[in-house]
Amino acid sequence: MGDLGEILKHPDEICPMIKLGMQVRETEMRTPELHWAFCYTMLRRVTSKFAVSLLQLGPEHRNAMIFYLVLRALDTIEDDMSLSSEVKTPILEDFHEHIYDRDWHFSCGSSDCRVLMDQFHLVRQAFLELDKSHQEMIKDVTERMGAGMAKFIDKEIETIDDLNEYGYYVAGLPLHGMLKMFVVPGLEDSDAEYGRLSNSMGLFIMDLKYEENSVEAVRCLNEMITSSLVHVEDCFKYLSVVKDVPALFRLFALRQVMAIGALALCYNNIDVFRFGVKQRRGLIAKLTERTRTMSDVYGVFFEFCSLMKSKVDRHDPNATETVRRLDDIQNICINSGLLNRRKFYIMRSEEGYNSALKIFKECGVTSRFDIFGN
């Protein structure tokens, strides 16, 4: 009943949610082969956010789905706390070889992730049908990511530098691999720079695990979120690189707008530790349907930054730095000259909406646009 109440509070999200559900079902139904059908279904079960963008890619890009599922299996091994480091470490280090081995099987994880591991032979079958170049790319990223995970099995993440290094292995590497997989023109000419941008964007979207302890926990949470905001400018640069490859642009743009939405939701929010928080399915559907251009991306970031600014506690030790970084992001959005080209808005009744709307109007966004995105 709670979910229904949330839906009724945001009627402008109902149609996008229905349309997205129909698209996902249609994609799954037009996949006759058992192993590919399993991969599509499993993708939706292990990652609701990423699935909505990956499932909209055409069949020619389903290599991206296999890439994700292979790395999700690797992540499942890392996350299983019932495994000792003596068992876990060699599997992480050798997983890039196991994806070729038809006889290898390892059951671990829980819930849907255990199903993924128990039926990994179906993912392997799909993997072996990919082009050799894509297989090699997936193997390379898996090897490097597995080695990085193994390094941190018995090492605590105690500093921001530790967090950034870990983030490089688990988020930066996969994004750079995805960029190569889509063969973005000119990538080879400045591979190192795009690798840096991939890492920066990966750090921005990486899931973080926070300390559970009231006031200090929230302050720690706020500091980590503030730290992640430094990567936003690189996210914009990264998206500008792929803007001429529509499928890739939408895939990564959705990840970024969902990431800034998650940060806005979690910022200064004690419920992160009490109950856990998640974005509304309707909001995810709305973002998925309507994030199509850089102007959309700038607009979403601008709005969520306004929401975050409305939540800043002046007693927070990082309050000044948080506001400064949010201002910097909003200035980038304004200076892009694209805010007035956007035709939909994310926030309707959320705190901070009125201030965001006021600034949008000052930037030249007029009433001829559909303010509520209907």
Q: In 229-290, where does DSSP find H-type helix?
A: 232-242, 246-266, 271-274, 281-290
What is the average per-residue pLDDT within 273-278?
75
What is the structure's pLDDT at 339? 83
Count of other CB atoms within 10 angstroms of residue 153: 14
Distance CA 23, CA 53 (A): 11
| pTM of this structure | 0.68
What is the structure's pLDDT at 252? 84
* Residue 240 reports pLDDT greater than 90: no
What is the structure's pLDDT at 13? 58
**Cα–Cα–Cα angle for 164, 170, 176, nearest 5°?**
95
* Residue 211 pLDDT level (bands cut at 50, 70, 90): very low
Distance CA 302, CA 294 (A): 12
As given in the structure block, the two tokens for residue 237 are: 């640069």
Asked if 302 and 360 count as a contact pair (C-beta separation under 8 A), the reply is: yes
What is the structure's pLDDT at 4? 55
**Measuring CA to CA, which residue among 62, 57, 45, 68 is closest to residue 250?**
57
Distance CA 53, CA 56 (A): 6
What is the average per-residue pLDDT within 219-226?
87
Asked if 236 and 212 count as a contact pair (C-beta separation under 8 A), the reply is: no
Q: Which domains does the chain have, with CATH numbers?
A: 218-374 (1.10.600.10)
What is the average per-residue pLDDT within 85-112?
95
Distance CA 345, CA 300 (A): 7
- Mean pLDDT, the chain, whole residue set: 79
Count of other CB atoms within 10 angstroms of residue 246: 10
| Most confident residue range from 54-63, 71-80, 240-249, 362-371 | 71-80
What is the structure's pLDDT at 51? 66
What is the structure's pLDDT at 351? 44
Phi, psi (deg, nearest 5) at residue 204? -70, -40
- Name which of 75-84, 149-158, 210-219, 285-294 the model is least confident about: 210-219
What is the structure's pLDDT at 361? 47
What is the average per-residue pLDDT within 145-159?
89
What is the structure's pLDDT at 199? 60
| Tens digits of residue pLDDT in 162-202 | 888 888 888 888 877 877 776 554 444 445 555 565 566 55
Tell me the Ramachandran region of residue 111: left when phi exceeds 0, alpha when psi lies from -120 to 50, beta otherwise: left
What is the structure's pLDDT at 174? 85
